[in-house]
Amino acid sequence: MEKKLNSSAQFSSWTPLNNSPQNMQLFEERTNLVLRWFDLWTDRQRKHMLHTVLTRCTKPQLRYCRNLLTEKLPMTQVDFTAMLPRFLSLYIMSFLRPLDLFSAAQVSWHWRVLSEQDCLWAGRCMRQGWFLPYTPGEKEFGAWKKQFLSCVKTLGKVTRCEAAQQHWEINQPYDEEEKEERLKENLTRQMIRAKIQEEKRLALTTRKVWGSRTKLVVSGVGNIENQANIGTICKTSGSPDLSQSTSSSLTLEKNMGRSCSRASGQLFHYVSRDRAIQSTCTYTHPATCLLLVSNRIPAYELVLSGAKADVIVVLYDHQGTHSALLAQVEGAISGRTFQRLGLLAPGGTEEIHLFHNCCLSDRTLLSTEHRDFWEKLSCLVAPAEQGGGIDIFSPCAASAFGVALLQKLAALTGLKVWAPMGLATGSFQNILSEWSDGSISPIGFSEPKPGGQALRYISEPVLHGWCRHAEWMEEALGEMKSCLEHQLQQVGLQARGRALGYFLWEKICLEDLCLSEDLSMALTEGLTVLSKQEETRPLEFLANFLMKWSDERKATKENQVSNVSLLSGSPQTQLDWRGAIVRELQHSEFLYISRLSGLMKAYQEPLTAALNSNREILSFADINVVLSPVSQILDLNRGFKADLDARLQQWGAEQCVGDVCLKLCRHLRVYTNYLNNYTTALSTIDKCRETKPLFRAFLKRTDRTLATHMLCLQELLLCPVWRIHEYTTLLQALMLHTHASHPDYTHLSSALTTLQQYTQFIKKLKRNCERDRLLEETQQMIQGCPRLREGNRQLITSQDAALLNCSNDHVSESLRIYEHVADVSLFLFTDILVLTLKQKQHAPFTVVHRSTHTFLASVALANLTLRKITYSRYVKYAFILEGPSCPWICGTEREEEMEHFLCVLSSAMKTTLT
């Protein structure tokens, strides 16, 4: 009967209630069947099944489910110190105050152990200057907490008089002894203060070096301009005389803060110890060079930090105008003249991007704006007979159009104009090549100086480091500039004032020191070496070190002189410029191919091998999108290098390489496909890194290793883009040294034309991507803003301002009182002006704030009128924007901000009307 029951009930829905073993067997079989179905269902089907089952359950069954879920996934009343790792728990507790840590120690034994760790109390004690008088043992516990408690208990108590002053209890009676002590102490302090002020006033009146009436200017090393008189600075900035202040360091900080607000660029840096010693020891040298630096230069902060002591640096806005830059320069130099004028702005071999949408080239130099600008600027430079000249950091001496620009600029200004010859590849490494002026015929340059002109302005180690890593540092500093620019300016201003005020007046007697730059540098290096080793006779060691340092400097200068003489003393017949350029082309091609080969070996081969062995990291389609164009470029350039090697083996005066370059240009369709596919490749890498853990782990293992030249995949994919620019520069230099009758001239001209077209194509793609990115970021930033991406609209600049309101329009304009209504931001586009309401939200217990923008209004530039408000005692730096519906009265904090914004706005309005 039992066997018959099994066979008949095995696949039926009937449950034998009177047979417990059979009932349990059927229940287990059906449960397993349902679980197998459950494993095959989708997530949506599983959720639907759970919902259906739970709705059929009774309350006791639901309570059981609740208890089971709470046990598996506890949601409340969880001890985070038991769930998190120990280092995370200690990190959380590090934000607590000492009183909170004492309270946390009373929660439980485990919390007490964590709250008494030395890592939580050592920093608090050290910041107060409470150090342990002994070294704790390995197993000693809570030593720093006990030290904190003992120091807090033994803190000095205030007197009854001081306590009364703190709590505003003025009528408390004084003790006679306490009154006498107070009176003696105040008299002593007044005598000391008066004596210090008298000494400083005498030092300022007798010191001749500080007698200039120049304003404070930001120098590259973060120091004051060399001939700036502190008393003059105080009077210029509207502050009281230094002798009337109660504290010299506070007065210096205050004056520096006022005068530095008018300085160009408002970039400030912390002053390190060795740079501070060098800068203070070089105050006696007059400034002989003026360097104009555009803020579009990558990592310009490093350039400013390496400027020499006799150089005044003016950092100007790339979005500005000629008149704004002239006003900035005049305010920085105060009517003085300089021996050299340097210009560091983005540019190439044929043109210089002086401002936004304003290029300086052979064709545009004689325009009204450029001609007036350079005529006024050249008046600040000494005549050519006295060694005056202009140094342009763009490689204009590498092309015929660039040489024509140099010649026209020299004829316009009456000065010699120098520029790099472009015989070096890499980001901004053209500056380190030979420099030449445009006064010689294009066939041969005489007296080339490797980086000599640039070293007049910037110290050699800083210049070399910046030239090689400028592009990489720009990527790293981009986000920090946009997010922390305002905070860094304020913090740098305060720190600079305090550091210089304390250092100049408290640590050293500046009026007693008169050291040269070489001596200060030698003393700094000698003291640094001396501090790293134990010496029983330090004075003797320092004397020997200075002797060795002097001999090494002399030998280095002799070597430099001999190297320059070898180059400058030889005429064009001894210098094969065409051969040097072709060898540079071959060497840079070898480095380029090695990078592409490293890219293929490090990425394509492992990914393809994993795909063939059924351990897929990246799909075949994704590998083709990212790496297939690179393999085609690598094959093309290997053939190009082989042709170059063959020509260099038989090099001569009549040897040709133009046909080899033209052969490369005929196959540049590979680069075209690569450039069109570049954005898609980057997006594919980002998508696969986010969605595929294996690929993310593979990139983590492979990126920035020796096989990839310490670069990541995205950085290696930029190499073909850079190589096109290098080809253009080198071929321009080769064309410059190739005579029109040379058999290689025609092929080189055709190849150069093709490469220049590709360069313009790359610039166009880059501008489009930058324009789209800025529009998208602005669209996301402004809440409630209508669609901004229309036509060819571009973002020009933005300016923070205060929205003002005038309730007494019937009175004279000079007597009107304006009320600050709100903070606004003005976003200027090529065709419209957008006004947004700006709100700041400060984070508690920190100085960080977050800004939000709400759309207020937008007006077309064609319907906008602009009018300045005359300065009065009630308003400064204000202007009126009149739209079709209503006017807006706006004001800025500084005059430079208003002038810059109004210049750019006027130019945009004129462009729109024309």
Query: Amino acid letter at 21?
Result: P
Distance between CA atoms of residues 883 and 833, nearest Å: 10
Instruction: With a cut of 50, say whether residue 337 has pLDDT above it.
Output: yes
3-class SS of residue 851? strand
Contacts of 435 (CB under 8 A, 6+ apart): 391, 397, 418, 419, 420, 421, 448, 449, 450, 451, 452, 453, 454
Distance between CA atoms of residues 184 and 502, nearest Å: 27
Q: Write out the DSSP string of 39-67.
A: HHS-HHHHHHHHHHHHHHS-HHHHHHHHH
Task: Choose the most confident range, by mean pLDDT, from 185-189, 395-399, 845-849.
Answer: 395-399
Cα separation values, 806 from 135, 729, 823, 824, 834, Å: 68, 58, 16, 17, 22
Q: What own/partner pairs with CB < 8 Å and gap ≥ 24 does 46-54 have?
A: none
- H/E element holding 483? helix 460-502
pLDDT of residue 851: 86
Closest CA to 278 of 581, 29, 51, 525: 525
Measure CA of the first residue to CA of the last residue in the chain; give whole Å: 105
On whether the CB atoms of residues 447 and 483 are closer than 8 A, the answer is: no
Angle formed by the axes of helices 368-378 and 400-413, to 10°? 60
**Average pLDDT of 719-724?**
88
**Average pLDDT of 95-99?**
90
Q: Which residue has the higher pLDDT, 271 or 455?
A: 455
User: For residue range 19-60, what is the model confidence (pLDDT) as tens digits?
Assistant: 778 888 888 888 899 888 988 899 999 999 999 999 999 999
pLDDT of residue 253: 36
pLDDT of residue 688: 92
Instruction: With a cut of 60, say whether residue 70 has pLDDT above it.
Output: yes
On whether the CB atoms of residues 211 and 228 are closer than 8 A, the answer is: no
On whether the CB atoms of residues 885 and 798 are closer than 8 A, the answer is: no
Instruction: With a cut of 80, say whether residue 733 has pLDDT above it.
Output: yes
Instruction: Name the pLDDT band for 891 (thresholds 50, 70, 90).
Output: very high
Closest CA to 132 of 123, 117, 143, 121: 143
- H/E element holding 854? strand 849-860
Neighbouring C-beta atoms of residue 655, cutoff 10 Å? 15
Closest CA to 586 of 660, 659, 654, 521: 660
In the 8-state DSSP scheme, what is residue 136? P
On whether the CB atoms of residues 86 and 53 are closer than 8 A, the answer is: no
pTM: 0.48
pLDDT of residue 21: 82
In the 8-state DSSP scheme, what is residue 105? T
Distance between CA atoms of residues 233 and 405, nearest Å: 40
User: For residue range 118-152, what is the model confidence (pLDDT) as tens digits?
Assistant: 889 988 888 887 888 788 877 787 888 888 888 88
Q: Which residue has the higher pLDDT, 58 or 494?
A: 58
The residues pairing with 882 across neighbouring beta strands, listed in sequence order, are 865, 887
Query: Amino acid letter at 475?
Result: E
Distance between CA atoms of residues 880 and 864, nearest Å: 10
Instruction: Name the pLDDT band for 548 (thresholds 50, 70, 90).
Output: confident
pLDDT of residue 506: 52
3-class SS of residue 634? helix
**Average pLDDT of 247-260?**
35
Contacts of 626 (CB under 8 A, 6+ apart): 618, 681, 684, 685, 713, 717
pLDDT of residue 149: 86
On whether the CB atoms of residues 495 and 222 are closer than 8 A, the answer is: no
Q: Which residue has the higher pLDDT, 149 or 159?
A: 149
251: tokens are: 């007065």
User: For residue range 748-775, what is the model confidence (pLDDT) as tens digits?
Assistant: 999 999 998 888 888 888 888 888 888 8
User: For residue range 776-807, what is the model confidence (pLDDT) as tens digits?
Assistant: 888 888 998 888 888 778 888 899 999 998 87
Residue 839 phi/psi, 5° resolution? -130, 135
pLDDT of residue 7: 46
Closest CA to 255 of 511, 536, 504: 504
Distance between CA atoms of residues 268 and 227, nearest Å: 19
On whether the CB atoms of residues 861 and 831 are closer than 8 A, the answer is: yes
On whether the CB atoms of residues 665 and 672 are closer than 8 A, the answer is: no
pLDDT of residue 801: 93
Q: Which residue has the higher pLDDT, 440 or 625?
A: 625
pLDDT of residue 401: 85
pLDDT of residue 474: 60
Instruction: With a cut of 50, say whether residue 173 has pLDDT above it.
Output: no
Q: Which residue has the higher pLDDT, 798 or 445?
A: 798
Distance between CA atoms of residues 626 and 681, nearest Å: 5
Average pLDDT along the chain: 76
On whether the CB atoms of residues 758 and 724 are closer than 8 A, the answer is: yes
798: tokens are: 């933005």
- The beta strand positions in 273-373, using DSSP E, are 289-294, 311-316, 340-344, 351-355, 358-361
On whether the CB atoms of residues 737 and 581 are closer than 8 A, the answer is: yes
User: For residue range 823-841, what is the model confidence (pLDDT) as tens digits?
Assistant: 999 999 988 999 999 988 8
Closest CA to 596 of 640, 656, 564, 559: 640
225: tokens are: 């301009």
Distance between CA atoms of residues 343 and 389, nearest Å: 11
**Average pLDDT of 257-265?**
34
CA 494, 498, 499, 505 torsion-angle sign: positive
Instruction: With a cut of 60, say whether residue 338 has pLDDT above it.
Output: yes
pLDDT of residue 159: 45
The residues pairing with 833 across neighbouring beta strands, listed in sequence order, are 828, 859
Q: Lowest-confidence range among 55-69, 112-126, 202-216, 366-380? A: 202-216
